[in-house]
Structure 1
C-alpha cells in the first residue's frame, strides 16, 4: 500500500512536470525561431541599404564621366574613378549578403554586368574620345549609356523591392511565432496543470485530510493562484508529498513568472528594434532622395535642418559645414543642444575629427579626458565624424548620447557614419554641379557673364520691365584700338587690359546691373530701371573712368585705353531684345566712325 501510494504520487508529479518541460522546450524553440526571423530582417535591411549605396556609386561614376566628357577637365575623372573603385567593393559585399538568395544574386550579377557594360561600352569610349580631342558628343554612345543606366536602376529597384517583400514576410513570420509561443505556453502549462488536477482527484478517495488539502491547493493553482500551498500535516508520506508539491508549486511559479517576463521583454525588444530600424531606414532613404533632388547648397541645408533631428531622435547633435570662402565651419543645424551653441563657428583646431581627418569618439573607455572644444556637455558619449569628399573637408557631424543609454551607442555611431557619408557625397555633387553651372555662364578670363547668359537674361529683364512698366537700357562698349595692343604688346598685355576694364565696370555699376563680355574686347551692359538719360550719364562716367585708367602690363610699362559706346533703351527704341542689341551695336559703330572715345545714342524707331 505504501509503495503504491508513493508510485501514484510520483506519477502525479512526474506527468505534469514532463508536460511542463516539454512546453518549455517548445517555447524555447519558438523563441529561437523568433530570433532567427529578427536576424533575417536585419539582413534584408542591410541589403536594402547596400543596394541604395550601390546605386549612388553608379550615379557618382556617371556624373564624373559625363562632366569629363562635356568639359575635358581631368578633375572630373576623380569622382568617376573613386565611384568605380568603391562600386566593386560594395558590390562584392552585397554579393556576400545575397549569396544564399539565388534570385537576388541573379539580379545583382545582372546589375554588375550592366555596370561593366556601361564602363566598357559607354564610359570608356566617351573618355577616350575626349582624351583624343573629340569634343563632339557621340549621341549613339550617350543613348546606349542612358539605356544601361536605366536598366541598372530598374534591376536595383527590383532587388530592393524583393528585399522589402522578404522583410515584410519575416515581420509577419515573427508575429506568427509570437502567437505560437503564447499558444504553447497556454496549452502546455494548462495541460500540465490539468493532468495534475486529474491525478489528485483520482487519489482523493484514498487519502486523508492531507491529500484533500493537496487537492484543494492544486485546484487553486489550476485557477491561476500560483502562490497557494498544500497543508503539511505530520511526517508521513503525505506530508512529504505535500512538501514536494509545494516545492513544485514554487518552481512553477518562478518558471511562469520568469517565462512571462522573458517573453514580454523579448517581444518588446524585437518590436522596438524592428520599429527603430525601419524608421531609421525610411528616414535615411528620404534623406538620400531629398539630397539627390537638391540643386543648390542652401536647398541641401534646408533638407538637413528638416530631417536630421527626426533621424537622431534619442541623441543630441550638430552639423557644421565649411564656408564657401574661409576656413571656419559655422553651425547649420543642431538638435537636443543648449541654446549657447546657436551661431557657433568651428575652426579646424576645435574638433579632433577635423584635425585627424577621421572619426573621433569620446566615451567612458575612449578619449574620456581629451574633449573637443565645441562640446559643452561632456557627460555621456560623443562621436564626431568628418564630412569629406574628393580630398576636401566639407564639415563635421557630432552626435551625443546621455549617460544611461550606452546600449544604443554602437547603433548611433553606425547611423552617424552612414549619414555623414551620404551627406558628404551629396554636398560634393552639389558643389560640382554648381561649379559646372558657373563655368557654363562665366567668362574664364574676366569672371563676367558670357554671351550665352546675356541672351538668357536680357529676355527675362525685358519681360520684367514690360510687366512693371519700368525702363531698361542696353549699352554696347568696345575698347578702341585693342588689336594694336595685342599686336604691339602681346596677348598677355591684352588680357590684363580686359581684366582691368572688367574690374572697373564691376566697381562702377550697381548690383542689379548686368555686365557681360559679348566677345573679344566688346562688353554689353544691361541696366534695369535706367532711362535713356541716366544711361547716357553712366556711360559718359564709364568712358571717362576707362580713359583715366592706367594698366600695368610690365614692371616699367603702363598702358591707357579708351572706349566707344552705343546706347539703346526700352521703350524708346522698341520692345524686342534683338532689336535693342542691334540698335546699340549700330550706335557703337557710329561712335567708332565719329572718331572713337565717345558715346552715341541709337536713333529712335518710328512706326
Structure 2
C-alpha cells in the first residue's frame, strides 16, 4: 500500500536516514524541519502519516501533535512520535496530546516499517469511512460522521494468549481497568475461546510452550467473525525473523519485551480504534437511510451509489497519484439458470454469489450490483498484483463449491472477471468501466471462469 509520509525533524541527517528507508519501500516522503512548517503541510496537502521528532526548537513535537489533533481537518491523521526520550513520563505526555504510536532512537528498521504500515492501514480505513459518508451526503453523512467521531478506544475486549501465567497477569494489570481482559494459557484452545466471543484484540506471546504462536494467529484468522481481529505479538529480540514472517501473514503489530506499559497502551489503542472503524464501515450499510443506495436483493450498493462514488475516488486517486482498480464480474450462463430452474433459484444464486463476493474482497473494497447478473468492485490503493490476487480469490471462491440454492442438486456456478487499472489523469469513470467491460468480454470469449486484465 502506498502512502505519503511527512517526516518532521530539525536535524537533516535524521531526515535523510528516515527518508531513505521509507523511499526504499516505495513510500512518498515529504519533509519539514520545524513545527509550523509541518502544520502548514498537513493543513494544505494530503498526508497519510506524520513521523514527528519530539525535541525541536521553538515548537516541540508534543505541541505539534496537540495542534494536529485539535484541528478537525487533521484530527484523524496518525502521528508516530520518534524520540530519544525513553522515560515513561514522556510517553504519557505523548498519549495525552494524542500520539498514536512511538519509536525510540536509534530507529530499528523492522519496527519502523511495522509501525508505519499499521498506522497507514488505520488511515486508509478512516479515509474510506469519511469518503463513503461524503458520497452519501444526502443520505447518511451526519450520522456517519457523528458515529465516527464518537468511536473511542476505551472498554476494549482483549484476549491474552500466553503459557506463562505470571507474565500474562502482568500484561493484564497494565490494561485494566481501561479494558476487559481474558487470559488463555492453553494455546490449543484459542479457536474455542474466540468462538462466540466478541474480542476486539488478541495479544499473543511468541514464547508459547510447545506451541507455534503463528499457528495460533492463523487459526484465529480462519474463523469468519475473527478474520479481521487485530493481533499483536509479544516478542523477544531473538524472535525478529518470525515476527517479520508474522507481519507478512497479516499480524497487525508487535511489541518487544520487556513490555513498557505506555507503549502497550498506545499500540492497543491504535488497533482497537482501527477495529472499531472497520466495524463501523461494515455496519454502515445497515443504516436505514442507506437503503436508498443499496440493492434490495443482494444488500450490495446499487448502480446509483457506485457511479457517484467512482467519480469521487477516481478524482482523489488522480490528485494524489494513487493506484486504483475496477473489477467487473458477470455470472457465466446465468440465463440458463433462470430458464432451467426458474427465477426464484436465479435470485438465490445472485444472493449466494453476493455473499461469496463480500467474503473474498478486502475491507476497503466497495462491491456493487451493476445490473442483472453483473457486479462491480472498486478497489482503492490497489496495483496490478493486489488486484489480480483479489480477483482470483473471488473467482475461486465462486467455482470451488456448488451453490446449494434449493435446486435438486447443487448448481455449478462460475464467474468471468474483467479488471482495469487507473493509469493516467486522462482516465474518466466512463473509460474505466469501458476498459473493464472490454476485459470482461475477452474473459467470456476465451472460455469463461477466468480473470482478464485490460490496459489503457
Q: Give the structure-2-normalised TM-score.
A: 0.38
Larger strand proportion of the pair:
2
Whose Rg is larger? 1
Q: RCO (CA 8 Å, sep 6+): is it higher in 1 or 2?
A: 2
Q: Give the structure-1-normalised TM-score.
A: 0.29
Larger helix proportion of the pair:
1
